[in-house]
Amino acid sequence: MSDHDHDHHHGDHDHSELSETELRVRALETILTEKGYVEPAALDAIIQAYETKIGPHNGALVVAKAWSDPAFKKALLEDATKAVGTLGHVSRVGDHLVAVENTPARHNMVVCTLCSCYPWEMLGLPPVWYKAAPYRSRAVKDPRGVLADFGVALPKDTEIRVWDSTAETRFLVLPMRPEGAEGWSEQQLAELVTRDSMIGTGFPKRPGAPS
């Protein structure tokens, strides 16, 4: 590891510290650009792609399809990468996507205790809490306590299965379809699917409930 001193660059979370980070980030981009490693317009395009192309709307369409189409659901649970690949309107996904199904007997929850692995193509960039110490430390030891932090309570006898994403497999929770949405189109159903319901820290919205 290089030995330059990190102690100069952290500590107080005041405004000047933030400004210093901002200056250092700009300086590094200047150096990478001047050395011909990257072009700033390409960095702009990466950011724009993250801001517009990926997000939980992708996962929501997949879940809504699985709720509506038993053959798709079966294919999704067998090989999610392949199944999602058949949907033209959802962005392409990388290999090793795994969909895990919630049932009345079993609730799935996803974490990455070692870093922040998350199905970006399906859910977008992870929220801060997913990447932070409280979730990463407790999800595997006290998942009911973590769910309580989200205001989620499960029946006492429901099995909780926590998936620690320690490799390049990526997990998407297929939540249970809420009652009261019979006959809804996939597009309407997708509106009920929340990001947290696909991580396993929340439920889908109920039809008619205020959003």
Partner 1 sequence: MNGVHDMGGMDGFGKVEPEPNEPMFHAEWEARVLAMVRAMGAAGAFNIDTSRFYRETLPPHVYLASSYYKKWFLGLEDLLVDKGFVAESEIAAGHATRSAKPLNRGKFTRDDVERIMVRGKFGRAALAPAKFKPGDRVRAKNIHPVTHTRLPRYVRGHAGVIERVQGCHVFPDSAATESGENPQWLYTVVFDGAELWGADADPTVKISIEAFEPYLEIA
Instruction: Out of 158, 176, 191, 205, point to the residue binding partner 1 (CB under 8 A).
Output: 158
Kindly tell me which of 30 and 185 has the beta carbon lying closer to partner 1: 30
Verify binding: residue 146, partner 1, rule CB under 8 A. yes
Q: How many residues bind partner 1 (CB under 8 A)?
A: 90
Q: Which residue has the tokens 């006492």?
A: 156
Query: Contact 97/151 with Cβ under 8 angstroms?
Result: no
For partner 1, give the closer residue by CB, 35 or 71. 35
Tell which positions 23-82 bind partner 1, by CB under 8 A: 24-32, 34-39, 41-47, 49-51, 53-54
Q: Of 49 and 153, which has the nearer Cβ to partner 1?
A: 49
Residue 116, helix vs strand vs coil: coil
Please report whether residue 132 would count as binding partner 1 according to CB under 8 A. Answer: yes
To the query of whether residue 117 is one of the catalytic residues in this protein, the response is: yes
Q: Reply yes or no on whether 16 is catalytic.
A: no
DSSP 3-state assignment of 157?
A: coil
Segment (H or E) for 56: helix 56-68
Distance CA 8, CA 5 (A): 6
137 is catalytic: no
Which tokens in the block code for residue 58? 């992708």
CA distances from 89 to 26, 73, 82, 171 (A): 36, 17, 14, 20
Interface residue with partner 1 among 90, 136, 172, 194 (CB under 8 A) is: 136
Choice from 69, 78, 103, 115 touching partner 1 (CB under 8 A): 115
Instruction: Find the binding residues for partner 1 in span 186-205 (CB under 8 A).
Output: 196
Q: Which of 2, 19, 116, 197 is flagged as catalytic?
A: 116
The minimum distance between CB 208 and partner 1, in angstroms, equals: 22
User: Using the rule CB under 8 A, is 1 a contact of partner 1?
Assistant: yes
CA-angle at 55, arms to 54 and 59, nearest 5°:
105
Pick 68 or 96: Cβ nearer partner 1: 96
- How far is Cα 200 from Cα 154, in angstroms, rounded to an integer? 11
Which three-class secondary structure state does DSSP give residue 91?
coil
Residues forming the active site: 112, 115-117
